[in-house]
């Protein structure tokens, strides 16, 4: 290769590589190196200020995108028009801070103390402001669209018509600050709200969702709490609530303990998913109660009033419904394996499978001489039933309880008795 050829190749290499090198340098400067040499403030993007004291800094128009300000002390700081997009402000103190027109889109603001802070015209879209204290904060014309305010204190916060706030949280603010303006809260979604010390006496809350709601010190005296969901709601000794509904709250929040509820008034109670395993509910009044998905295994519901109750998908296996009033009750997909149905009252409105209705009929009217060929009686409590002369050919009696049953002259050809508990001495 001649000297001229080498020169030409070197020139070509430089022509091709210099633009690429320039591009690499440019992007390195834009996305990292520039920030290392930038003066902070105002250029503080991505900086770590966690646990720091920033009260002496002038943060007006500062770039604090992606900055870590967790547990930072910012009381009274002036951050007018600052950009906190996706900044971490978890547990920071912002008491009296000026955040007018600040951009806090997507910022983490949970557990912040922002009492009396000025958020006028600030953008807080999608911000997480959970368990924060916004007492007396000014949110006039602020944009809190899709912001999360779980357990946040909004007492005395300034919210105007121009404030963009999801309907749920505006309602919560109204309940706390303008209770006289709230006519009815029937069916309201108040999950995760902070309603501590709320004045809700006599308010219609029927069907409201109060799951995981803070109700410390709230006054619910005389409120209509029928079908209210109380799972994980937080009450204390200062919460004023009628005894019946405090008991409902206790029931749905009790786990791993046998509950003694004999004779208790639980009319219109929302007990969906409640842990009532082995509970004593004898003579309890559960009219229209919602017990769907409840764990009622081994529970005693003898003589309970379950008229029009919702027992959809409830687990009742090996429990007792002896003498229970099930007129109009919905037992769709309920687990009734080995349940005692003696003297239980059903009507045409009782939603129950044909095989379960047949079991109820057999234990209450007997089965002597009945044609029960191909009957589906698996897991049925048929103890003590008289099957004298009954035809049970091909019947499914797997795991059935037949202790004490009379099987004299009964035809059991090809009947499936696998796992069944048979009468003493049989066959």
C-beta of residue 230 within 8 angstroms of C-beta of residue 250: no
Distance of CA 236 to the CA centre of its chain: 20
344: alpha, beta or left? (left if phi > 0; alpha if psi -120 to 50)? beta
At residue 18, the pLDDT reads 56
At residue 25, the pLDDT reads 46
Residue listed under structure tokens 């998913």 = 273
Q: Which CATH class is domain 42-165?
A: mainly beta
Residue listed under structure tokens 């009696």 = 397
C-alpha 350/C-alpha 166 separation (Å) is 42
**And the tokens for 355?**
């095989």
C-alpha 421/C-alpha 427 separation (Å) is 12
At residue 112, the pLDDT reads 98
Residue 97 burial (CB count, 10 A): 28
At residue 3, the pLDDT reads 66
At residue 39, the pLDDT reads 87
At residue 426, the pLDDT reads 81
* Residue 8 three-state SS: helix
C-beta of residue 382 within 8 angstroms of C-beta of residue 361: no
CA dihedral sign of residues 348, 351, 354, 358: negative
CA atoms within 13 A on the CB side of 209: 7
Residue listed under structure tokens 């009622």 = 296
C-beta of residue 326 within 8 angstroms of C-beta of residue 344: yes
- DSSP assignment letter at 186: T
**And the tokens for 191?**
């999950």
Per-residue CA distances from 157 to 78, 134, 140, 410 (Å): 19, 6, 9, 78
At residue 269, the pLDDT reads 98
At residue 158, the pLDDT reads 98
* Residue 345 three-state SS: strand
Residue listed under structure tokens 């109060």 = 210
| pLDDT tens sequence for the chain (427 residues) | 566 656 656 555 555 565 665 565 455 444 554 545 568 989 999 999 999 999 999 999 999 999 999 999 999 999 999 999 999 999 999 999 999 999 999 999 999 999 999 999 999 999 999 999 999 999 999 999 999 999 999 999 999 999 999 999 999 999 999 999 888 999 999 999 999 999 999 999 999 999 999 999 999 999 999 999 999 999 999 999 999 999 999 999 998 889 999 999 999 999 999 999 999 999 999 999 999 999 999 999 999 999 999 999 999 999 999 999 999 999 999 999 999 999 999 999 999 999 999 999 999 999 999 999 999 999 999 999 999 999 999 999 999 999 999 999 999 999 999 999 999 988 7
C-alpha 212/C-alpha 221 separation (Å) is 20
C-alpha 360/C-alpha 336 separation (Å) is 11
* Residue 306 three-state SS: coil
At residue 355, the pLDDT reads 97
At residue 29, the pLDDT reads 45
C-alpha 198/C-alpha 181 separation (Å) is 13
C-alpha 138/C-alpha 144 separation (Å) is 12
Report the helix count and the strand count for the chain, using DSSP H and E. 5, 0
CA atoms within 13 A on the CB side of 104: 33
Q: Is the pTM of this model over 0.75?
A: yes
Q: How many residues does the chain have?
A: 427
- What is the CATH architecture assignment of 353-427? 3 Solenoid (2.160)
At residue 4, the pLDDT reads 61
**And the tokens for 170?**
């505006």
Cβ contacts of 193 within 8 Å, gap of 6 or more: 149, 150, 151, 168, 169, 172, 175, 213, 214
Residue listed under structure tokens 């503080």 = 44
């Amino acid at each position: 290769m001649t000297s001229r050829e080498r020169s030409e190749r070197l020139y070509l290499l430089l022509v091709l590589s210099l633009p690429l090198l320039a591009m690499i340098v440019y992007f390195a400067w834009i996305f990292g190196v520039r920030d290392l040499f930038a003066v902070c403030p105002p250029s503080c993007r991505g900086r770590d200020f966690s646990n720091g004291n920033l009260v002496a800094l002038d943060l007006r128009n500062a770039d604090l995108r992606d900055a870590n300000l967790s547990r930072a002390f910012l009381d009274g700081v002036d951050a007018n028009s600052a950009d906190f997009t996706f900044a971490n402000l978890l547990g920071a103190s912002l008491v009296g801070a000026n955040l007018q027109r600040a951009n806090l889109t997507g910022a983490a603001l949970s557990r912040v103390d922002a009492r009396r802070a000025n958020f006028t015209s600030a953008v807080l879209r999608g911000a997480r402001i959970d368990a924060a204290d916004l007492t007396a904060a000014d949110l006039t014309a602020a944009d809190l669209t899709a912001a999360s305010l779980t357990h946040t204190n909004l007492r005395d916060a300034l919210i105007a018509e121009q404030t963009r706030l999801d309907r749920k949280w505006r309602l919560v603010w109204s309940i706390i600050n303008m209770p006289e303006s709230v006519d009815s809260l029937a069916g309201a979604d108040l999950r995760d709200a902070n309603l501590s010390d709320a004045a809700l006496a006599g308010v219609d809350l029927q069907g409201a969702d109060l799951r995981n709601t803070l109700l410390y010190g709230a006054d619910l005296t005389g409120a209509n709490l029928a079908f209210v969901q109380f799972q994980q709601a937080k009450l204390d000794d200062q919460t004023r609530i009628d005894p019946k509904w405090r008991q409902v709250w206790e029931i749905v929040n009790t786990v791993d303990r046998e509950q003694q509820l004999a004779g208790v008034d639980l009319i219109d109670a929302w007990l969906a998913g409640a842990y009532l395993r082995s509970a004593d509910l004898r003579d309890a009044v559960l009219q229209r109660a919602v017990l769907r998905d409840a764990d009622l295994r081994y529970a005693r519901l003898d003589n309970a009033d379950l008229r029009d109750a919702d027992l959809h998908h409830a687990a009742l296996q090996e429990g007792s419904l002896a003498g229970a009033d099930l007129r109009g009750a919905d037992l769709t997909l309920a687990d009734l394996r080995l349940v005692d149905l003696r003297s239980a009252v059903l009507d045409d409105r009782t939603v129950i499978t044909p095989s379960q209705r047949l079991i109820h009929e057999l234990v209450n009217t007997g089965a002597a001489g009945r044609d029960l060929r191909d009957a589906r009686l698996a897991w049925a409590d048929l103890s003590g039933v008289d099957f004298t002369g009954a035809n049970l050919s091909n019947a499914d009696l797997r795991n059935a309880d037949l202790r004490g049953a009379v099987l004299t002259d009964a035809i059991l050809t090809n009947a499936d008795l696998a796992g069944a508990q048979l009468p003493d001495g049989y066959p």
